[in-house]
Amino acid sequence: MEWCIPIQTFQVENVQIGNITSGPKPLTAFGYKDSDLKFTSLSILLPHLPIKSYSPVTGRLIISLAESPQALSKMLMLQEMILASIISNQQRWFPNMPYIRRINDIRQGFQPMIQDSDMHLYCPVTESELQGPNVYTRSKWARGIIQPGLLTPGTKLRILLKLQGISFHIHQASGQWSGKFRLQHRITAILLP
């Protein structure tokens, strides 16, 4: 069982960014520490939010945070904290880089999860029940497969979102960080009325 933090009690300053893993797709994992509680992962339960769009072909899910200024503010603060962390840790995480990237370069390389008041997520498109999220609808749970027509624009849903860390893109030819990075995430559960 994994613990999650409701967005109402989530505090950005409690997020901990771990060390970077080496390999073809480096990742820095997230943790969360609040008083005596320490979580080795970061899962956030979002409030009821409307779907703006969903593509069953690509799995791209866009939800609007406009109705929840608190959630929008906290997620934007999290993105800014991540950017600041990369600015301050880039030399330590990528010691073989030929130069230090400036703030504007780092911002340009970031694929944000929050743009304006929209949250851009990936909801797995799969035929396997093992890879997809848990889905609660019509008073019962199902595992994995998103039924056609379930995620339609305007429908309100709650999402349990696991933020796995910061994923960095490495240029294949040089083996250097390309300057591109994003928040690695997974939708663990979807709750529909």
Residue 126: pLDDT band (50, 70, 90) is low
Quickly state the pLDDT bin for 125 (edges 50, 70, 90). Answer: low
In this structure, which long-range contacts are made by residues 171-179, counting pairs with CB atoms below 8 Å and at least 24 apart in sequence? Answer: 176/94, 176/96, 176/97, 176/98, 177/26, 177/90, 177/93, 177/94, 177/97, 178/109, 179/101, 179/105, 179/106, 179/108, 179/109
Range in 35-39, 67-71, 82-86, 118-122 the model is least confident about: 35-39
The CA dihedral of 100, 103, 104, 108, to the nearest 10 degrees, is 80
Q: What is the pLDDT of residues 69-109, one digit of tens each?
A: 999 999 999 999 999 999 999 999 998 888 889 999 999 99
Task: For residues 95 and 165, give the distance between their C-alpha atoms in angstroms, rounded to a whole number.
Answer: 20
- The confidence band for 59, taking pLDDT boundaries of 50, 70 and 90, is confident
If one counts every other C-beta atom within 10 angstroms of the C-beta of residue 49, the result is 21
Across residues 180-188, what is the average pLDDT? 93
Count of domains in the chain? 1
- Structure confidence at residue 56 (pLDDT): 85
The range of the structural domain enclosing residue 75 comes to: 5-191
Indicate whether 160 pLDDT > 90: yes
What is the pLDDT, as a whole number, of residue 130?
56
